[in-house]
Chain A
């Protein structure tokens, strides 16, 4: 049988050489793509700088390897994740083939070096890419059915956030299927026409070749050329379509993951590289308009694939607060597209809060980090929310409910405005002092270990028991420790997260001065918020910081602390991971190990645990904020504990305790569930 004429040697419409058409495709396609990308990069050039993204390169390369190439986050949503992995690796495989095809349109015998059909790699690759195309085709087919017909809830777009995104998603699935189909058809008709080539069995190309096995030569020749240009058209269309929507991530994801956050737990500075003195000279604080974001945060906006995982995990979204992290991104991306159009003049930007965001939306975030933990693309939310809050604080737009505690923090160093000299009153309680004597800095005492108590554990009538239990545990562990007493100020973990940077700086400076003066060699915290702030937000403080759960486990292991059998062996315990211990600092095992060390203690896990733990609605200033919500996070959480079969929920955070104890009453679970703090549980079970 006569061989087919390659597209390059065909005469299109009878008189235009195919190679010329192919060449024009490349020129126009690549040119248009370059133009669009240049336009897309324009706002990034005007954005706030962030040089931190160019350091710690090994860690960044590791992220690329694990998060981007390794697709590590994808299987957290199994079905969608596996589909994505199939498409991702299919794309990676087919990228080579697509590049070759573009050249083949001009030089029909072209093959990448080593990839000739008669070379071993080439032969293997031919088989692999045929299967890849088939898998991608099928995966996209399933994905399109899933998105278009079954419509999982997490992709829904609430009315207030604009139009539905289903059609774009299904459209893209169809384009990809078209790409796979045309590429396979291009190959298949060659074989059908008697071309000597191997088609792997059960692939799309193989099936098509069988379908057209008895087709007339003229039809095969026609299909060969049409398939080629259909593929070329789809390819360049797709390339230029990518930067217009959520599929921009196909291009940006590699860079976004490379530049994603490496350090955890801390908050970005107001301006990268600024000194404390420099802060005073800034004319404006935080993010007020789109150009105030850093280039990385803008890249985040471009990179969002609209998968909805962040919002699906977001506790604020769950309880009906006016915040959905997904739309923080999508709304900003759409604004960037609108203000920096592909053609025409750039638009002058408006304040973000009041146009695309509402103040309630920005204050609704508990900074729990569930969204960032989930995002497969390394998109950040907390820093953006904090930057937006900084902007609001700078304009004086702070909810009334937060103004009083902020003022009290400035005047008294704690959000309730309690007097400083009573900060160590819990330690002076007679009954407790008889049992455990705590060294206090104001009495001229010092020691190697500083127990940083923080505000709620110092002042709240209920939570001071955590301070007492922590002290007894440290005592039993033979830790020589002291507290700062009236010289301790609030750690400011929430102050910085609520955007009151200068107040945070003041609290931090006061604490660092006191700590340095005290001569402490290390710090122990029982409150995860204090632990996080001291460890991650006090870069000037060079002392090691430990959470009490780490101390407990260490001391159990070395035999200093011995635990007796569980007091009530019929009780079933579950552990609630506090955000600032778990997600932000990776301490998931120590509290569990400490509990497991109590002989006979029965433990179950809740549906959401470890890095998917559900925030209790937050601590610090969050206690004072009055959100608009339909349910309370902690109520959902205690119900989850109840469903898991637990009758004791163990928290390792005073704020979680406040919220859980309240929620147990609200949920009407008083008779079936109790909350206890980890230090209380351990103290109860210590052998003395």
Chain B
């Protein structure tokens, strides 16, 4: 099976303290460390496990700049056979739809039976996989936490509310967005990355992919991020006071307001 896994280089949520910049309109980006999006890592592991079972190869692709090379190599150290970097000035500032458009160009240049993405990335949009599938007219399943191989199709389990699993049969080729916990991604050390440091990674531009530059990048963005801000919360906790029933009434309001009660 030929599998394409779409990955993204993101600020590492575990290793960054997100702070606002001096102007107060963006986060401080100077000291950020980046790594591969956690969900994508599970997707690559899943792809490798599938290929280990039935043969074929795993290709990892990312839309990014020269620095994105590092996440491709990391995933290649895990066991992906090939990396592709989609890099063009025109791609800069793309939203989910733009990224899906670029990836569509990449899928068209290969012969993939299965396309995997992570369920979501740093911005929490969880959109690229579904958009890519719609553009390709491939069937799609999101939040996949189990994949079983069948003849010309897969049985996939989606992680839905209440810890339930929604079992589906899905025809190949298809796009799946992979949820964390589907597997236990293998560890990649510095040694593994060094071993693939010499492998050539092809770079494809908008022209190579046959992508219209006007549909991607900032030009194609319909949902524009204006600025960043820190949600208001004072120093220390706001202490709820009053009688028990008053406190409980306030607390229930707070629980509702924060999505804690459904």
A–B contact via C-beta, under 8 angstroms:
yes
Listed in ascending order, the chain A residues whose CB lies under 8 Å from chain B are 279-280, 285, 393-398, 400, 402-404, 406-408, 410-412, 417-421, 500-503, 506
Question: Which chain A residues border B16 with CB–CB below 8 Å?
Answer: 417, 419
Determine if B187 and A502 form an interchain contact, defined as CB atoms under 8 angstroms apart.
no
User: Which residue of A279, A280, A407 contacts B15 across the interface (Cβ within 8 Å)?
Assistant: A407
Given A411-B33, A411-B35, A421-B31, A503–B15 Cβ distance below 8 Å?
no
Listed by A's residue number, 7 A-B pairs whose Cβ atoms lie within 8 Å are A280-B191, A393-B187, A396-B188, A400-B184, A417-B14, A418-B17, A500-B189
Given A404-B14, A417-B15, A396–B31 Cβ distance below 8 Å?
no
Given A404-B14, A417-B14, A503–B31 Cβ distance below 8 Å?
no
Determine if B194 and A280 form an interchain contact, defined as CB atoms under 8 angstroms apart.
yes
Question: Which chain A residues border B194 with CB–CB below 8 Å?
Answer: 280, 502
Determine if A393 and B189 form an interchain contact, defined as CB atoms under 8 angstroms apart.
yes
Given A280-B194, A396-B192, A412–B187 Cβ distance below 8 Å?
no
Determine if A412 and B33 form an interchain contact, defined as CB atoms under 8 angstroms apart.
yes
User: Which residue of B12, B17, B185, B189 contacts A503 across the interface (Cβ within 8 Å)?
Assistant: B189
Smallest CB-CB separation from B32: which chain A residue? A419
Question: Given A394-B191, A395-B186, 7 more contacts at CB 8 Å?
Answer: A394-B189, A403-B185, A411-B12, A411-B35, A419-B31, A420-B31, A421-B31
In Å, the complex CA distance between A285 and B16 comes to: 31
State how many angstroms separate the Cβ of A270 from the closest Cβ of chain B.
10
Q: Which of B33, B78, B192 has the most CB of A within 10 A?
A: B33
In Å, the complex CA distance between A397 and B192 comes to: 13
Smallest CB-CB separation from B78: which chain A residue? A396
In Å, the complex CA distance between A393 and B190 comes to: 11
Question: Which chain B residues border A395 with CB–CB below 8 Å?
Answer: 186
Determine if A419 and B189 form an interchain contact, defined as CB atoms under 8 angstroms apart.
no
Where chain B touches its partner, the secondary structure class is loop
Smallest CB-CB separation from B187: which chain A residue? A398
Smallest CB-CB separation from A410: which chain B residue? B190
Determine if A397 and B187 form an interchain contact, defined as CB atoms under 8 angstroms apart.
yes
Determine if B187 and A411 form an interchain contact, defined as CB atoms under 8 angstroms apart.
no
Smallest CB-CB separation from B77: which chain A residue? A396
Instruction: Please name the 9 residue pairs, one residue from A and one from B, whose CB atoms are nearest each other, closest first.
Output: A396-B186, A417-B15, A398-B187, A502-B190, A502-B191, A411-B33, A396-B187, A417-B14, A408-B15
Question: Which chain A residues border B185 with CB–CB below 8 Å?
Answer: 400, 403
Question: Which chain A residues border B188 with CB–CB below 8 Å?
Answer: 396
Q: Which of A279, A285, A395, A502 has the most CB of B within 10 A?
A: A502
Interface residues of B in 54-80 (CB under 8 A from A): 78
In Å, the complex CA distance between A623 and B185 comes to: 21
Question: Which chain B residues border A394 with CB–CB below 8 Å?
Answer: 189, 191
State how many angstroms separate the Cβ of B178 from the closest Cβ of chain A.
16
Question: Which chain A residues border B78 with CB–CB below 8 Å?
Answer: 396
In Å, the complex CA distance between A676 and B186 comes to: 40
In Å, the complex CA distance between A285 and B194 comes to: 14
State how many angstroms separate the Cβ of A445 from the closest Cβ of chain B.
22
In Å, the complex CA distance between A500 and B14 comes to: 20
In Å, the complex CA distance between A437 and B187 comes to: 42
In Å, the complex CA distance between A665 and B35 comes to: 38
In Å, the complex CA distance between A501 and B192 comes to: 12
In Å, the complex CA distance between A394 and B188 comes to: 8
State how many angstroms separate the Cβ of A415 from the closest Cβ of chain B.
10
Question: Which chain B residues border A421 with CB–CB below 8 Å?
Answer: 31
Question: Which chain A residues border B12 with CB–CB below 8 Å?
Answer: 407, 411, 417
Q: Which of A396, A402, A411, A502 has the most CB of B within 10 A?
A: A396
In Å, the complex CA distance between A421 and B191 comes to: 27
In Å, the complex CA distance between A406 and B190 comes to: 11
Interface residues of B in 188-204 (CB under 8 A from A): 188-192, 194
User: Which residue of A393, A400, A402, A419 contacts B17 across the interface (Cβ within 8 Å)?
Assistant: A419
State how many angstroms separate the Cβ of A444 from the closest Cβ of chain B.
21
In Å, the complex CA distance between A402 and B187 comes to: 9
State how many angstroms separate the Cβ of A600 from the closest Cβ of chain B.
41
In Å, the complex CA distance between A646 and B192 comes to: 50
Question: Which chain A residues border B186 with CB–CB below 8 Å?
Answer: 395-398
Q: Which of A279, A418, A419 has the most CB of B within 10 A?
A: A419
Question: Which chain B residues border A285 with CB–CB below 8 Å?
Answer: 191
Interface residues of B in 9-55 (CB under 8 A from A): 12, 14-17, 31, 33, 35
Determine if A503 and B190 form an interchain contact, defined as CB atoms under 8 angstroms apart.
yes
Question: Which chain A residues border B190 with CB–CB below 8 Å?
Answer: 410, 502-503, 506
Given A419-B31, A421-B31, A411–B15 Cβ distance below 8 Å?
yes
Question: Which chain A residues border B192 with CB–CB below 8 Å?
Answer: 396
In Å, the complex CA distance between A421 and B19 comes to: 14
Question: Which chain B residues border A408 with CB–CB below 8 Å?
Answer: 14-15
Determine if A412 and B191 form an interchain contact, defined as CB atoms under 8 angstroms apart.
no
In Å, the complex CA distance between A394 and B190 comes to: 10
Q: Which of B15, B185, B186, B188 has the most CB of A within 10 A?
A: B15
In Å, the complex CA distance between A279 and B192 comes to: 12
Question: Which chain B residues border A397 with CB–CB below 8 Å?
Answer: 186-187
Smallest CB-CB separation from A396: which chain B residue? B186
In Å, the complex CA distance between A279 and B191 comes to: 9
State how many angstroms separate the Cβ of A358 from the closest Cβ of chain B.
15
Question: Which chain B residues border A398 with CB–CB below 8 Å?
Answer: 186-187
State how many angstroms separate the Cβ of B36 from the closest Cβ of chain A.
10
State how many angstroms separate the Cβ of A394 from the closest Cβ of chain B.
7
Question: Which chain B residues border A279 with CB–CB below 8 Å?
Answer: 191
Smallest CB-CB separation from B13: which chain A residue? A417
Given A396-B78, A412-B33, A403–B187 Cβ distance below 8 Å?
yes
State how many angstroms separate the Cβ of B38 from the closest Cβ of chain A.
10
Question: Which chain B residues border A411 with CB–CB below 8 Å?
Answer: 12, 15, 33, 35
State how many angstroms separate the Cβ of B202 from the closest Cβ of chain A.
25
